[in-house]
Amino acid sequence: MPKENSQLSLMNASGFAFQLAVEDAIPVGNSWPYCEILAREHPWKNRYTGREGFIDIIVKKGIFRFVIECKRNKNGIWQFLMVESPDMPKFGAHIMWSVPFSESEKAAQWDEIRLKPGSPESQFCTVRGSGEGQVSMLDKTGSSVVEATEALAHEELTYEKNYFGNESVYVPVIVTNAELELGSFETREFDLKSGRVQKANFEPISHIRYRKALTVHDEEVGPAVTSIRESNRHSQKTVFVVNATELSNWLLEFETGPRDPFHD
């Protein structure tokens, strides 16, 4: 193998180069709606379990903190499953916010927030690609970035601030070079005898909201849970999955969404 190829092979053995390229694609500037990169490889630790890790990139845009995990995938396709429905929500996301009211009174909670740009929402994903054969890969990555998001929110509340009442909203994001695909079907056309989908529609997408019961130990945040239904709703978190080539546009368009409940 030529020396140049072996050197590139070594460089490409990890995802660090991909992470740096993703960071360079972030629209940084001094005027709205540009972003600010707060940190890279930022350490986090779950205060309940002791699990720890590093946040690849933290990006600030107004009140938003984007907690970005870069996931490189070789020739990969991430297919998200959705049952066809005209009432599928497009803007709702269950993410975290925090507010320091005073030196002694601070709040942090996972909550439902409407956000733009609109996108499909799915709870199921099948991953295909070299080194990413396990269907649970996205759930594992999603759980990690959710833990990191909560840890970052609590860390920021420990800092001394000269102002109070300013809200921060934390957005878990997975950025990947994998192709993102939405597969939708109608359940009434599913063949229960064979256990297989007989007809479906497939379309490429640039981003999606992945909503899943990605539980973290957040006993001090969120409402009291009194039923299985509430427990399931409370444990669900939204992780945004974005194709790397569309990250810049997605960040520039990102903002609070419509409040009309009929346009969820």
If you write DSSP's letter for every residue of 241-252 in order, what string do you get? EEEGGGHHHHHH
Rounded to 5°, angle at Cα 258 from 116 and 206: 20
Contacts of 17 (CB under 8 A, 6+ apart): 11
What is each CA distance from 17 to 14, 20, 21, 59, 77, in whole angstroms?
A: 7, 5, 6, 18, 20
Supply the pLDDT for residue 167: 87
Quote the radius of gyration of the chain (alpha carbons, Å). Answer: 19
pLDDT in tens, the chain (264 residues): 455 688 888 888 889 999 999 999 999 987 777 899 999 999 999 888 889 999 999 999 999 999 999 999 887 899 999 887 766 668 999 999 998 877 778 888 899 999 999 999 999 998 875 444 454 788 899 999 999 999 999 999 888 664 666 889 999 999 999 999 999 998 888 889 899 888 889 999 999 999 988 766 544 445 567 788 877 777 889 999 999 999 999 999 999 877 654 445
pTM greater than 0.75:
yes
pLDDT for 262: 41
Peptide bond before residue 27 is cis, with ω within 30 degrees of 0: no
Q: Tally the C-alpha atoms within 13 A of residue 234's C-alpha that lie toward its C-beta.
A: 17
Question: What pLDDT, on the 0 to 100 scale, is given for residue 252?
Answer: 94
pLDDT at residue number 263: 44
